[in-house]
Amino acid sequence: MREIARKEGARRPWLAWIPIADVYLVCKLIGHGVLWTIWLFIPIVNLIPVVIIVMRLARMRGHRRVFGLLLLVPFLNYVIWWILAFGRPGPRLASS
């Protein structure tokens, strides 16, 4: 996550190493703030924001939204995080 934050120009990419602060960092990267961070810690309520966050994160790195949904698949998510962080970004897609 730190590498993605660094590549996206976050002011404090080192927050990725601190629990809870890393959730805040992801929310800030996609354009949301503290309220979304709080929602992510409420059971059941967090299901919708998680899906939105992973899709926007993939879009931000230039991949399709479905690519972001693969982050929700156990074990496959490690490969997807690696591709988002260190792989070549996909072509910048028009916002939809």
Would 17 be classed as within a structural domain?
yes
Instruction: Give 67's pLDDT tier (boundaries 50, 70, 90).
Output: confident
Per the structure block, which two tokens stand in for 48? 């919708």
Would 93 be classed as within a structural domain?
no
Would 23 be classed as within a structural domain?
yes
Say how many domains are in the chain: 1
Query: DSSP letter string over 13-78?
Result: GGGGGSTTHHHHHHHHHTT--HHHHHHTTSTTTTHHHHHHHHHHHHHHTT--HHHHHGGGSTTHHH
Question: Helix 21-29 vs helix 47-60: angle between axes, to the nearest 10 degrees?
Answer: 60
Q: How far is CA 92 from the centre of its chain?
A: 16
pTM above 0.85, yes or no: no
Would 55 be classed as within a structural domain?
yes
Would 94 be classed as within a structural domain?
no
Would 91 be classed as within a structural domain?
no
pLDDT of residue 42: 92
Would 48 be classed as within a structural domain?
yes
Task: Look at the alpha carbons of 52, 32, 64, 19 in this order and tell me if their dihedral is positive or negative.
Answer: negative
Would 92 be classed as within a structural domain?
no
Q: How far is CA 31 from the centre of its chain?
A: 11
Q: State which residues form the domain around 70.
A: 2-86
pLDDT at 44 over 60: yes
